Amino acid sequence: MAFLDTLFAKKKPALKAKCPITKESIETGFGYMLTTAEVVSSKKYWDMVMTEPETMSYTVSHFKNQSSGTHMRSIIFEKYSSMQQPWMVSDSCMNLFEDSVDKHEARARAKKWWESQGNFIPAQSGAATEVLDSNTFKNWKDYAVLEAGRNRVVL
């Protein structure tokens, strides 16, 4: 009977992580864990987001002084800045955050996440409005909505 129990026992699914930026799978034990506040506090991140193929038309419209483009960029900022869960990002994305994140700390957080089977949540997690002071949040929102991608747009 013990043999049958082990044969038909439900296996716990393996813990998996996928980078929310590149959508690539992150191998067990790897990656970096960032808080939403850390993510939105990166100029390189916003320059990348606002010039992706899916968002470039809004960026061009914004820099042509069309309010619809500015409005859409604001919605994009709100979407990403309101994320409650921490971000598990791949090695290939860390260059976007090298100016705003302690790489060793982010790697240590990821390791704790893997070791806890996905239950570890770092301090300062939650929406950026809950973590950043209002002035800092406003400054990052202004950059993301009003300035991000300016140097990549030809009018």
* pLDDT digit string, tens, across residues 140-150: 999 999 999 99
**Spatial contact of 33 and 97, defined as CB atoms under 8 Å apart:** no
pLDDT, greater one: 131 or 1 = 131
- 41 near 113, Cβ under 8 Å? no
Q: How far apart are CA 64 and CA 155, in angstroms?
A: 7
pLDDT for 10: 62
* Cα–Cα dist 56/147, whole Å: 13
Q: How many CA atoms lie within 13 A of 41 on its CB side?
A: 19
**pLDDT for 79-138, tens place per residue?**
999 999 999 999 999 999 988 899 999 999 999 999 999 999 999 999 999 999 999 999
- Phi then psi dihedrals of residue 112, to 5 deg: -65, -35
